Structure 1
């Protein structure tokens, strides 16, 4: 049955973990969805979870589900705040949305320790430092 479904390729949509603010004591991070398309995406849903090893033990975060609605052309939407303590885990975001009644979905995975200062670049639309997967 899966073979009967259309192969809808996700393009020009990205997830970015952005450094919102920073002090010597703490860094504040937020996760964004970026719609780099020339058309809106609708009924946007994102589920997020973290997993991996911390201090020699396997850990998993809760699965969070976010209903975002519509993201306009060349626009962005905040998904969630992310605690600096989970940046050392694998952070997974499962995105689904509709365009013209057709569903699209994609999994975005930030591997452990990928969200570090040396990997930061300027994120389009937001003009802030972060790490983006497209």
Structure 2
């Protein structure tokens, strides 16, 4: 039965962590959904969680769920703020969305210590610096 389901491949959809503001005391980071397609995506559901090991202890954050009605083509939406203290964990975002009547889903994982300046790039559409998974 599962072999009969269509293999809807996610393309041109990214999750990005962007540096919003930086001061002497702190940095403010946000996670965005970027639609690089020319068509809108609809009924978007995103779950986010962090997990991994910190100081030799297994750590797990709460699972958050986000619903976004629509993201137009070549645009973006804010998913959530992210605390810099979680950058040492796996930060997982599971995305599901529709284009017409077809459903798509993909898991994006920012590995521990991957959100670092060395990996920064200019994020398309948002025009900020950050780390992106396409």
TM-score normalised to the size of structure 2?
0.98
Tell me which residue corresponds to 1:121: 121
Gaps of 5+ in 2: none
Deviation at 1:11, TM superposition (A): 0.2
Structure 2 partner of 1:105: 105
CA offset digits 1:87-117 (Å, max 9, x no partner) = 1100000000000110000000100000011
Matched with 1:15 is: 15
Q: Is 1:83–2:112 an aligned residue pair?
A: no
The residue correspondences of 1:14-93 to structure 2 (distance < 5 A) are 14-93=14-93
- Matches of 1:67 and 1:7, distance apart in 2: 23
Paired residues, number = 134
Give the CA RMSD over aligned residues.
Answer: 0.6
Q: Deviations over 1:63-88 (max 9, x none)?
A: 00000110001010000000010011
Counterparts of 2:112 and 2:22 in 1: how far apart (Å)?
21
Q: After TM superposition, which residue ranges in structure 1, 4 or more long, deviate above 3 angstroms?
A: none
SS in 2 for 1:39: coil
User: TM-score, normalised to structure 1's length?
Assistant: 0.98
**Runs of at least 5 residues in structure 1 that lack an aligned partner in the other structure:** none
